Structure 1
Amino acid sequence: MLTTHRKQAILATLKQDGQVIAKALSETFGVSEDTIRRDLRELAADGLLQRVHGGALPSSPAVADFSQRKHISTTAKSAIARKAAELILPGQVAILDGGTTCVELARHLPMTLQATVVTHSPSVAVELVDHPGIEVVLIGGRLFKHSIVTVGAAAIEAIGHIRADIYFMGVTGVHPVAGLSTGDLEEAYIKRALAARAAEIVVLASSEKINAASAYVIAEAKAANTIVVERETPKALTKPLAALGIHILRA
């Protein structure tokens, strides 16, 4: 089998099964595991999958920059944001992550809500400027322009002084084994620090992020108390997550 055809078959198996195992692929195609690993490396370099120990998982399209992500799954993001907004109770301190879904969440907060929002996203903060009942705490630091969020030592230091009721986490990948992940190392550190300061963690995930993985791990999947998904997300994708004790909330 030609390399091109073998790679196409690998991607087809990945789409069907949600993962591929290098040893199984080598037996299927009658080639060495080194050959399969080379195929996986090249496919990963093209952004077509995410390599993990022993094989590969689907890669997430959500690692694009902020301006590109605004046009991905817009209907799903709006529905997820609207449902997530219902989880914030009056008087709570809520952390809103960076990312396009959290910007949508800020837009859906009722104008009667009295609460405090902590965020390292200038975009989220600007959305709440005219909200009469929400106090906004903006975490400072170096601006990571790819995602329009603050990162770095100053941000980590500020986060250490927060105690929040709930944290709405944006991710690029949610997988029952590979965990919660994102496409940037510094963002992963920030998200981990924010998660440590919240009593409850709610992950916002449109369907293309479920059963996908990115390069940098934030936490194991069961760190999430709740995952908000779009209503049409197949149960086959969410069942392994629910089996971990995570509440799956459909928008």
Structure 2
Amino acid sequence: MLTRQRKQHLLDLLKRDGRLVARQLSEELNVSEDTIRRDLREMARDGLLQRVHGGALPASPALGNFTARQDIATDDKAAIGRAAAAMVQPGQVIFVDGGTTCAQLVRALPRHLQATVVTHSPSIAMELMGHPAIEVVMLGGRLFRHSMVNVGAGTIEQIAQIRADTYFMGVTSVHPDTGLSTGDYEEACVKRALCRAAAETIVLASSEKLGTAAPYKVVGLQDVSGIVLPAGAPDELTQPLHDRGLALTFAEA
């Protein structure tokens, strides 16, 4: 089998099974594990998959830049945003992450809701300009333009001074085994700090993020309280999350 054919075969298997195991593939294709690992490295470099210990998982399409992500699953993200906004109670202090799905959340908040939103995202803060009763607290830091959020040691230090009721987390990838992950190390550190500073963490995830992995782990599934998903999310992707004890909220479009 030629290299190009073998790589296409690996992609077909990944789409079918949701993961690749190097040792098993070596036996099935009668090639060395080193050959399989080299294929996986090259395919990961091309953005076709995410390497993990012993093999590979699907790469998340949400690794694209902020502008590109705005056109992915727009109806699902709007539904997720509405469902998450309904969870916010008057008087609460909430952390709101950056990203396109969290933008839908703040757009769906009642105009006269009295609450405090703490965010490290300039774009989220701007979305709240039309909500006069919401106090907006901006966390400073170095602007990570890819996701339009502030990151760094200063951001994490500010987070440590706040105790929020809920953290609404946007994330690149959700996987039942590898947990929640994203594409930047510093962004993962900030998300982890926000999670630890909130009484509960609710993850907002459109379908394309499920069953995928990104390079930098944020937290495990045991560290979050629930996930808001689109109503049409495939059962084979949501059932493993339910089996791990997560509260799943399905958002109707």
Same fold (TM over 0.5): yes
Counterpart CA distance in 2 for 1:65 and 1:162 is 29
Residue identity opposite 2:121 in structure 1: S
Q: Are positions 1:37 and 2:37 aligned together?
A: yes
Counterpart CA distance in 2 for 1:225 and 1:245 is 9
Q: Are positions 1:67 and 2:71 aligned together?
A: no
Cα distance, 1:112 vs structure 2? 2.7
Cα distance, 1:147 vs structure 2? 1.0
Counterpart CA distance in 2 for 1:70 and 1:236 is 26
How many residue pairs match? The answer is 251
Show the counterpart of 1:54.
54
Show the counterpart of 1:146.
146
Q: Give 3-state SS (helix, strand or coil) of 1:137's partner.
A: strand
The percent identity for this pair of structures is 59
Show the counterpart of 1:201.
201
Q: Are positions 1:134 and 2:129 aligned together?
A: no
Cα distance, 1:129 vs structure 2? 1.2
Structural mapping, 1:181-196, within 5 Å: 181-196=181-196
Counterpart CA distance in 1 for 2:100 and 2:125 is 13
Q: Give 3-state SS (helix, strand or coil) of 1:129's partner.
A: helix
Structural mapping, 1:92-241, within 5 Å: 92-241=92-241
Structural mapping, 1:76-87, within 5 Å: 76-87=76-87
Counterpart CA distance in 1 for 2:188 and 2:133 is 30
Residue identity opposite 1:14 in structure 2: L
Cα distance, 1:222 vs structure 2? 2.1
Counterpart CA distance in 1 for 2:28 and 2:3 is 14
Counterpart CA distance in 2 for 1:211 and 1:221 is 13
Show the counterpart of 1:18.
18
Q: TM-score, normalised by structure 2?
A: 0.98
Counterpart CA distance in 1 for 2:221 and 2:56 is 17
Counterpart CA distance in 2 for 1:180 and 1:85 is 21
**4+ residue runs over 2 A deviation:** none
Q: Give 3-state SS (helix, strand or coil) of 2:129's partner.
A: coil
Counterpart CA distance in 1 for 2:68 and 2:92 is 32
Gaps of 5+ in 1: none
Cα distance, 1:200 vs structure 2? 0.7
Q: TM-score, normalised by structure 1?
A: 0.99
Residue identity opposite 1:40 in structure 2: L
Q: Give 3-state SS (helix, strand or coil) of 2:164's partner.
A: coil
Cα distance, 1:56 vs structure 2? 0.3
Cα distance, 1:202 vs structure 2? 0.4
Cα distance, 1:111 vs structure 2? 1.2
Superposition CA RMSD, Å: 0.7
Contact 2:91 2:114 in 1 (8 A): yes
Q: Give 3-state SS (helix, strand or coil) of 1:110's partner.
A: coil
Contact 2:111 2:130 in 1 (8 A): no
Cα distance, 1:217 vs structure 2? 0.2
Counterpart CA distance in 1 for 2:204 and 2:7 is 32
Offset from partner CA, 1:162-215 (integer Å, 9 cap, x none): 100000001100001111000000000000000010001000111110010000
